[in-house]
């Protein structure tokens, strides 16, 4: 284990960046990841795909207090959840960069402008963020499955 603390104590607001977007998977990649080898048919509902093995893949979006998340839920032919993957995670309120040493680490990277760092903030430690709104979203999708997707061909 080696830890090198940042020397400067964060003190001043340096700039504000519009928002951080991290793209993990495209819809096609999510399809291949959750149902490898399957083929997909669009349904009348946008973001809802039927798989060749009788399951479903649903793309949905939830808005949290500080974030906006696109995610995919794979539903097995028996109606159980196969897998959930985050496709895109946006911190919708943007962030403030308050530390010159923080900026220094990006010098020489692209245009070295903090305004171009969207998606580049990684390895964030902090008090745990709740994913309850995703859990609620999945419940909503399973309800939709039970009431209108199940058995539909």
Which positions touch other proteins (CB under 8 A)? 1-6, 10, 22, 24-25, 33, 65-66, 71, 83-86, 89, 91, 93-99, 101-102, 105, 121-132, 134-135
Give the residue with the Cβ less far from other proteins, 86 or 150: 86
Q: CB of residue 153 vs other proteins: minimum separation in angstroms?
A: 30
Q: Are 61 and 68 in contact (CB under 8 A)?
A: yes
Q: Are 132 and 64 in contact (CB under 8 A)?
A: no
Q: Which residues pair with 56 in a beta bridge?
A: 50, 75
Token representation of residue 19 = 């928002």
Q: CB of residue 20 vs other proteins: minimum separation in angstroms?
A: 9
Give the residue with the Cβ less far from other proteins, 45 or 132: 132
For the CA atoms of 65, 140, 23, 2, what is the dihedral angle to 10 degrees?
70
What's 114's DSSP letter? G
Give the residue with the Cβ less far from other proteins, 122 or 153: 122
């Amino acid at each position: 284990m080696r830890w090198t603390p940042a020397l400067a104590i964060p003190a001043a607001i340096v700039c504000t960046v519009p928002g951080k977007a991290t793209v993990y998977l495209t819809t096609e990649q999510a399809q291949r990841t959750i149902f490898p080898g399957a083929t997909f048919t669009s349904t009348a509902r946008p973001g809802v795909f039927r798989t060749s093995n009788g399951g479903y893949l649903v793309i949905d979006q939830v808005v949290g207090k500080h974030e906006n998340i696109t995610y995919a839920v794979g539903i097995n032919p028996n109606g159980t959840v196969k897998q959930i993957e985050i496709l895109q995670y946006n911190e919708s309120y943007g962030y403030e960069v308050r530390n010159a040493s923080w900026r220094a680490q990006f010098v020489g990277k692209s245009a070295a402008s903090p305004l171009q760092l969207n998606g580049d903030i990684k390895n964030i430690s902090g008090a745990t963020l709740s994913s309850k709104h995703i859990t609620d979203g999945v419940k909503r999708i399973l309800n939709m499955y039970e009431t209108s997707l199940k058995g539909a061909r």
